[in-house]
Every structure is written in structure tokens, then in C-alpha cells.
A and B are shown apart, each in its own frame.
Chain A
Amino acid sequence: GESVGLHLPTLSVQEGDNSIINCAYSNSASDYFIWYKQESGKGPQFIIDIRSNMDKRQGQRVTVLLNKTVKHLSLQIAATQPGDSAVYFCAETPPGGYGNKLVFGAGTILRVKS
């Protein structure tokens, strides 16, 4: 597939297990953070976002945790399914506005084994 030859961090999990994807962001003044999922041949798809005045936000089967002390963001996926296999990107917005200039991280490949 498209991930062959890519030197991105890879997380392999068994179907049904929980997944945790980590991201270190760069700007301590960033005020908005977002996770995207990118499947092969598709554009990034919004999963969940969080503003800097929160440290946790939950969606359907997903939770985002923000630790501003160590500039760390994580995405937790409960009961991982084969359809969750994709490349996951975190992104931050430097100060000055939400949701506009997104600075993306390098991406993590999630592989779900059936």
C-alpha cells in the first residue's frame, strides 16, 4: 500500500484493542489543536479538536488529551476497528486565530490487525 517505504512511526494494534497515538507539538502558545485521519488516496478527514483552555475532549470512540506543560497531544481510539487503519496527523494553530493556519505534525501510521 501507500505506507510502504514511508518512515513514519507505526502503531500496530489488534482489532478490539484501544489505540493511543501521540504527538508532540512545537509552539507553547498554540491555542487550537486538531486530529485528522488520512486514508490511502483521500484527503485528511477531521476527527476531533480541542482548544487550549481544555485538557480533555471526548467524541464517539475517540478522546483527545492535551498536556500543555509538556506540549503533548494524544488521540485515544476505543475498540479499534479495521476501518481505523490510516495515517493520523495532529496539527496546531499558532496564536492569532483558531482553525486557520494549521501546522501539521509528521503523522503516525495505524495498522489494525484482524
Chain B
Amino acid sequence: DTAVSQTPKYLVTQMGNDKSIKCEQNLGHDTMYWYKQDSKKFLKIMFSYNNKELIINETVPNRFSPKSPDKAHLNLHINSLELGDSAVYFCASNSNNQPQHFGDGTRLSIL
């Protein structure tokens, strides 16, 4: 299936831990994104990479570090997790100014 896939789907961890979320797309897109959706369903862009180069970096704590090993993958590493990091994180991708395709999200819960 052609898709944007994220792992894990659910992540429950303790405050202070470091965790990573992975995203892969097999759509041949050259741009990938990370969004955060809070408990009120508000969606906000965090980062965007185009051909492994960072092009959008919103005001996000530097505990969040995206990494793009190749244009089909964009991972998100989060250090020293805090309660406020609890949210659903969505990966998306697109090319050539076409609509962004989203994954089904990673629900991160901080205890």
C-alpha cells in the first residue's frame, strides 16, 4: 500500500525519558513534515524537510530534533520528555506543491 506510515502508533513513557518516533513514506515525495495535535484537536506544524534539508522550523523546544536519513524517512527524537509533550504527532509528505498526505499519528502519553 502506498502510504505515510508512523511507528509506534502508541507511546507511553515517563517524564524525563528520551524517545523517538519514526516516519516513512513510499509515495516518492520529496518533502516531509511533523505536526503536533493537542487535546483540543489543534494541529500545528513543527518541522519540514525537503530532500533531507530542514526548510521549516517553527518555535519548538530544542528538546525536539528531527532527522532525515533520506527523503523517504523523517524521524523525530524528543529528549527529556515533559507532561506538555503529550499529544498526537502526525507525519505528512508531499511534492510539487500538491496536497500533503498524513500518516495516522503517534499518540504520545507522558506519565
Binding site for B on A (CB under 8 A): 6-8, 32, 34, 36, 38, 41-46, 49, 87, 89, 91, 97-104, 106-107
Binding site for A on B (CB under 8 A): 4, 31, 40-45, 48, 55-56, 90, 92, 94, 97-105
Instruction: Check if B104 sits within 8 Å of A107, measured CB to CB.
Output: no
* From B40, B45, B102, contact of A7 by CB (8 A): B40
How long is the Cα–Cα vector from A7 to B41 in the complex, in angstroms?
Answer: 10
Known A-B contacts A43-B105, A101-B56; the reply to A87 vs B98 at CB < 8 A is: no
How long is the Cα–Cα vector from A106 to B55 in the complex, in angstroms?
Answer: 25
Which residue on A lies nearest to B102, using beta carbons? A43
Instruction: Check if B90 sits within 8 Å of A44, measured CB to CB.
Output: yes
* From A6, A43, A103, contact of B41 by CB (8 A): A6
Which residue on B lies nearest to A44, using beta carbons? B102
Chain B residues with Cβ under 8 A from A98's Cβ?
A: 97
Which residue on A lies nearest to B90, using beta carbons? A43
How long is the Cα–Cα vector from A102 to B4 in the complex, in angstroms?
Answer: 17
How long is the Cα–Cα vector from A38 to B98 in the complex, in angstroms?
Answer: 19
Which residue on A lies nearest to B107, using beta carbons? A41
Chain A residues with Cβ under 8 A from B40's Cβ?
A: 6-8, 106
Q: Which of A36, A43, A44 has the most chain B CB atoms inside 10 A of its CB? A: A43
How long is the Cα–Cα vector from A101 to B44 in the complex, in angstroms?
Answer: 10
Instruction: Check if B41 sits within 8 Å of A102, measured CB to CB.
Output: no
Instruction: Check if B99 sits within 8 Å of A49, measured CB to CB.
Output: yes
4 new A-B pairs (CB below 8 Å) besides A6-B40, A42-B105, A43-B105? A46-B101, A98-B97, A100-B56, A107-B41
Which residue on B lies nearest to A2, using beta carbons? B41
Chain B residues with Cβ under 8 A from A6's Cβ?
A: 40-41
